[in-house]
């Protein structure tokens, strides 16, 4: 007896194709990440194996400019940021986004007028941004870049050098399981705060050394709590970086004539490659960095501070190589939104 289901007729196939989409496939999604330095957005439609980006946006707004000294967001910084958020809102309307999450991080966490700024942005753009904590920020970034973790390793360090803070996670990697966070920390240093504190345009060697020492001191409690340095020789340890600092260093290492995400995301750099790229950046003056096609004016006064933060991380934990991620927080938000839509189907919502 033939137990195979009979082949669908043309009318049946048409009816199947016309069924309303279920779960994640019912929506168009967006994620906005408003940080101390950048305003970034991704708009995506779901695919069976993840999602397809249909539009994106990134603008250097420097929302946290001057925050380290005043504790407040400046009028000029807020105006720049509201303008950028207005562009994001227009893109969301154009693409018919029906599910989104829009977050603000360190600058709005720290600023005494952060809530007032978010109210202003809501009135001006219609976007309702939420301030998330450093721990949630780290977990979202991890979920976005986790596919790049080396499953042959048993431990991993993931770091995200931001504008106002640097997040670090110490992970256990186990076969066929999601990475397990053993510990995490958020350091009160980022490329904007360090550049404002020490200078970014002209950074002589003694100033650079002072930046590295400052970050080294901030890393000490995390190292003392976890003993990571003593495990480097004993366990298979992997380091993954997701930030503008590491993607810029990778571009410099590869001598790219223009930034190419396809070549950067997922690439590897040996420790010596990172150090050589950093030395090349340190040897440039401000105008040279402005002229570099993968740095330009927007990052020319920040990239040296990022190098100092990364050098401190690599001095604390001198791994053989690091992997570079041009993905993270926004991708993590999109995946979480899509998972939530699938869960609604299971729950019968």
Question: What's the pLDDT score for residue 1?
Answer: 34
pLDDT at 327: 94
Question: What per-residue confidence (pLDDT) applies to 8?
Answer: 46
Domains of the chain: 23-132 (3.30.420.40), 148-330 (3.30.420.150)
What pLDDT is recorded for position 235?
87
pTM of the predicted structure, to 2 decimals: 0.89
Closest CA to 75 of 39, 111, 117: 117
**Contact criterion met (CB below 8 Å) for 288 and 271:** no
Backbone φ and ψ of 99, nearest 5°: -135, 130
Question: With contact defined as beta carbons under 8 Å apart, do 225 and 213 qualify?
Answer: no
Residue 20 is predicted with a pLDDT of 62
What b/e sequence results for 275-292 when a residue is b if at least 16 CB atoms lie within 10 Å of its CB, and e otherwise? bebbeebbebeeeebbeb
**Residue 19 has what pLDDT?**
57
* Largest distance between two CA atoms of the chain: 84
Phi, psi of 186 (to 5 degrees): -125, 115
Lookup: tokens for 238: 């992997």
Torsion of CA 141, 190, 324, 319, to 10 degrees: -110
Q: What is the mean pLDDT of each run of 10 residues along the chain (349 residues)?
A: 43 50 89 96 92 96 94 98 98 97 97 97 98 95 94 94 96 91 96 94 95 98 96 90 95 95 96 96 95 92 97 96 96 95 83
Closest by CA position to 243, among listed 310, 305, 162 = 162
Q: Give, to the nearest 10 degrees, the angle between helix 75-94 and helix 114-125.
A: 40
- Position 9 scores a pLDDT of 57
- Report the pLDDT value the prediction gives residue 53, as an integer from 0 to 100: 96
Q: What is the DSSP letter of 36?
A: S
Q: 161 phi and psi, to 5 degrees?
A: -90, 105
Residue-level pLDDT at 34: 98
Query: How many residues make up the chain in this entry?
Result: 349
- pLDDT in the model for residue 10: 54
Q: What is the dihedral of CA 198, 199, 204, 207, to 10 degrees?
A: 0
Can you give the pLDDT at residue 151? 86
* CA pair distance 151, 132, nearest whole angstrom: 29
- Give the β-pairing of 50-60 and 38-47: antiparallel
Dist CA 349 CA 347 (whole Å): 6
């Amino acid at each position: 007896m033939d137990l195979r289901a009979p082949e669908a007729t043309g009318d049946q196939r048409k009816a199947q194709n016309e069924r309303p989409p279920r779960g994640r496939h019912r929506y168009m999604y967006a994620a906005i990440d408003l940080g101390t330095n950048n305003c970034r957005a991704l708009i995506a439609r779901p695919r069976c194996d993840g999602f397809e980006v249909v539009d994106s946006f990134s603008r250097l707004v420097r929302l946290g400019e001057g925050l380290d000294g005043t504790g407040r967001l400046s009028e000029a910084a807020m105006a720049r940021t509201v303008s950028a958020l207005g562009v994001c809102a227009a893109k969301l309307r154009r693409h018919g986004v029906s599910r989104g999450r829009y977050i603000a991080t360190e600058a709005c966490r720290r600023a005494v007028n952060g809530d007032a700024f978010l109210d202003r942005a809501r009135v001006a753009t219609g976007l309702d941004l939420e301030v998330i904590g450093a721990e949630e920020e780290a977990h979202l970034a991890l979920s976005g870049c986790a596919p790049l973790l080396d499953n042959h390793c048993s431990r991993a360090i993931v770091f995200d050098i931001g504008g106002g803070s640097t997040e670090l996670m110490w992970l256990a990697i186990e076969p066929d399981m999601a990475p397990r966070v053993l510990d995490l920390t958020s350091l009160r240093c980022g490329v904007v705060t360090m550049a404002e504190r020490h200078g970014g345009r002209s950074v002589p060697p003694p100033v650079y050394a002072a930046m590295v020492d400052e970050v080294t001191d901030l890393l000490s409690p995390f190292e003392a709590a976890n003993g990571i340095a003593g495990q480097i020789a004993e366990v298979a340890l992997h380091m993954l970086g997701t930030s503008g600092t590491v993607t810029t260093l990778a571009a410099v290492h590869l001598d790219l004539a223009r930034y190419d995400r396809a070549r950067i995301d997922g690439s590897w750099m040996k420790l010596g490659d990172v150090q050589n790229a950093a030395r090349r950046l340190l040897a440039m003056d401000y105008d040279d960095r402005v002229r570099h096609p993968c740095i330009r004016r927007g990052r020319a006064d920040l990239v040296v501070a990022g190098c100092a933060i990364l050098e401190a991380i690599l001095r604390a934990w001198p791994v053989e190589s690091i992997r570079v991620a041009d993905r993270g927080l926004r991708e993590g938000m999109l995946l979480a939104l899509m998972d939530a839509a699938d869960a609604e189907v299971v729950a019968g919502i």
